[in-house]
Amino acid sequence: MTSPSPSPGAAAPIPARQLDLYSSAITLSDMEIFVYPQLLYSLVLANILSPVLWRWRDDPWFAAIDKLNSYRRILRLKQFIMDRYDFNLDLDSWGLTRKDVELERFKTVMAPEVIARSNALFGYSGDKYYFDMDIRRHFGLDKYDSDIIPYWKTETVEAMDAFSYRDGYSNGAGECVSLSTLYAAALFVVCRIPLEKIYLMATPLHSQNFVDVREGILTNNRRIVTKNMWFNGTALTARAQRALRNEQVTLVAHCSGHVHVVYPEATIDPAAFDRFSRQLTDFMQTELNEEILCNFLRQHSQRQCCFQLRHQRHGKSYWVAAEKVYAHERGSAYKVSDPATRDRLLDEVDEYDFQPRPLAGRFDLAQLGDFFQRYPQPDLNSPAFQQALLEEFGCDCNLADTLVEDLRAFVAVQPRLPRLSDKQLRSAPGIRLDPAMDRAAIEQSLLAQRADNPVVDLAFYAYRDLSRCDWAPFLLAALQRNPVCREGSAALDDAALLQHLSDLPPESIYEGPRLAQPDEVWNFRRGDGVERALCLACIWRQRHPQARLQLQVEPAQVRLWLDDQQWLAPSAKGLHYQGSL
């Protein structure tokens, strides 16, 4: 059978640098977002455009959301995301690539040594204080010590939902960047939080958002962290603090633009960045008082051995070791740090844990209130207050020398943000969307902004709308950056491969003229005819490098020529394309 000729009147070729950028908006790997920082916000916009996200507003869970204040809306959203998605850090989900291949690809954009210093996949191992464990082992990176590294791709909301089709998953799933961009989009669409109040932050090992509501809210994977939670001393909060406490913030993205620690230019609005910097710094600092000191002891459990609590039982005073009470509070509604309910907590502690006389060498936490009445404005930088604190606690153990230093670190974290003063500010159009708009109005607004705003332009590629984008970036990504389908099909011969792809459910995870990449087809075991044809082409190109591959896409069907062999499937995408692969 004769294969088709290329489509007449094809668009002019996209320059190589722009082609790589556009194709990166489709694959959205961790390293691509680091090298091309404008991609982060493009995925937020792609999710804002998603009909899937807009259907959340019709869910009964959000029925009365417009009657709630902004903070309560965000709490509703948090629970919805917690119930719907799992945190996924399976680095094998999107396959493997090679460091040398990726460094060669990016070398004209960013120097290899800069990437190695700042990106976990290329050798970054965290500050020396980052973890009390090997950071690469913690993230599962230790098995990639050679030149082989995982793709670590970021998912659209559709791909996150589609994880439920995979074995071992009952919910959707996503990694930290997927969850942060989903949160940012949902805050706008579902909670009606203006984009101006949402800031995305990326560090070498994490991604989270700061929301300028009340005292500030951080998103952290599936959860949120308020200022009170930031200082509650729990293990969950300690994990949420790790990135901002110990890492340089590499990238801040906002509707007005972005700033990246590596690049000399920045496009973010200086006033917006200044407000963000002040708000985030205020969020991460608090005054020392009785509650905060008790929270400090909750986190620094090794110091609890220096403290005790007095409690009245049957008219007599008894004392109990602080570590026993902190251990008990994990299953209680009451906390050591709340003087108003502390006695109720102590009532729950087993009477056998109490002693009839004070425990030697321990400070009674019941006296904290008196101490802070004497020092209503404690200053940890004041030598006089430091001395008073140590004398009051009677600290004579080997932990005394570091008490003040550890308290300082607990009550005040200085975020390591990119220095805007070191950057050359470049004027760029901001993204103008009103949360009162419906989806159709937002789509039309973004289409109108697309020609003047590169981030909006990239958003349509991240959205995978092939009716509004050049096919070349999508095809490049499909044929070069989808190792999972190739590895997963290795045990199938050619005939079995053709049959397997023909037998997959003809369902796309994307609506309308949007297309899944080959590894999404393979991982989620479904795809429109066009998507399955591209999955086949990706695998065939590796198996038969010299084969002539021709693709013909029509509104209701797709043909893929593999030399003289034809693979045919129906399509519901309504697309047109014809050309060599």
Predicted pLDDT at 295: 96
Contact predicate 194/53, CB 8 Å: no
Predicted pLDDT at 113: 83
Confidence of residue 116 (pLDDT cuts 50, 70, 90): confident
Over range 22-31, report the average pLDDT: 96
What is the rounded distance in angstroms from the CA atom of residue 462 to the CA atom of residue 439? 17
β-strand 206-211 against 198-203: which pairing, if any? antiparallel
What is the rounded distance in angstroms from the CA atom of residue 217 to the CA atom of residue 486? 42
Residue 219 forms beta bridges with which residues? 209, 224
What is the rounded distance in angstroms from the CA atom of residue 303 to the CA atom of residue 202? 33
What is the rounded distance in angstroms from the CA atom of residue 33 to the CA atom of residue 88? 18
Token pair for 263? 């690049």
Predicted pLDDT at 453: 98
DSSP letter, residue 438: -
Residue 534 forms beta bridges with which residues? none
What digits encode the pLDDT tens for the residues 289-348?
999 999 999 999 999 999 999 999 889 999 999 999 999 998 899 999 999 999 999 999
pLDDT > 90 in the chain, percent? 80
Q: How far is CA 392 from CA 244, 321, 397, 571, in A?
A: 32, 18, 14, 76
Tell how many helices (H) and how many strands (E) occur in the chain: 26, 20
Q: Is the pLDDT reported for residue 379 higher than 70?
A: yes
Confidence of residue 135 (pLDDT cuts 50, 70, 90): low
Angle at the Cα of 412 (from 411 to 418), degrees rounded to 5? 155
Confidence of residue 132 (pLDDT cuts 50, 70, 90): very low
Predicted pLDDT at 533: 99
Token pair for 239? 């994990």
What digits encode the pLDDT tens for the residues 205-251?
889 999 999 999 999 999 999 999 999 999 989 989 988 998 899 99
DSSP letter, residue 335: -
Over range 62-74, report the average pLDDT: 96
What digits encode the pLDDT tens for the residues 536-578?
999 999 999 999 999 999 999 999 999 999 999 999 999 999 9
Over range 440-457, report the average pLDDT: 98
Predicted pLDDT at 530: 99
Predicted pLDDT at 138: 64
Sheet holding 316-321, edge to edge: 354-355, 316-321, 307-313, 363-364
Predicted pLDDT at 2: 45
Confidence of residue 12 (pLDDT cuts 50, 70, 90): confident
Q: What predicted TM-score, i.e. pTM, was given to this entire model?
A: 0.93
Predicted pLDDT at 124: 62
CB burial of residue 400 (10 Å; 0-12, 13-18, 19+): middle
Q: Is the pLDDT reported for residue 5 higher than 60?
A: no
When mean pLDDT is compared across 126-135, 217-226, 262-271, 473-482, the lowest value belongs to 126-135
Q: Is the pLDDT reported for residue 512 higher than 80?
A: yes
Name the residue ranges covered by the structural domains of the chain: 37-95+151-285+416-461, 290-411, 466-580
Predicted pLDDT at 126: 58
Q: Is the pLDDT reported for residue 155 higher than 50?
A: yes
CB burial of residue 360 (10 Å; 0-12, 13-18, 19+): exposed
When mean pLDDT is compared across 36-40, 92-96, 486-490, 520-524, the lowest value belongs to 92-96
Q: Is the pLDDT reported for residue 4 higher than 60?
A: no
Greater confidence, 96 or 557?
Answer: 557
pLDDT > 70 in the chain, percent? 93
Length of the chain: 581
Predicted pLDDT at 361: 87
The closest of 166, 164, 144 to 91, measured between CA atoms, is: 144
The amino acid occupying position 35 is V
Predicted pLDDT at 123: 65
Over range 391-401, report the average pLDDT: 72
Predicted pLDDT at 3: 46
When mean pLDDT is compared across 120-129, 241-250, 369-378, 394-403, the lowest value belongs to 120-129
Predicted pLDDT at 9: 40
What digits encode the pLDDT tens for the residues 348-378?
999 999 999 999 989 999 899 999 999 999 9
Predicted pLDDT at 129: 47
Greater confidence, 89 or 81?
Answer: 81
Residue 39 CB coordination number (10 Å)? 29
Over range 464-470, report the average pLDDT: 97
What is the rounded distance in angstroms from the CA atom of residue 253 to the CA atom of residue 40? 7
Q: Is the pLDDT reported for residue 7 higher than 50?
A: no
Contact predicate 213/69, CB 8 Å: no
DSSP letter, residue 166: S
Q: Is the pLDDT reported for residue 197 higher than 80?
A: yes
What is the rounded distance in angstroms from the CA atom of residue 98 to the CA atom of residue 58? 44
CA 475, 479, 480, 486 dihedral sign is positive
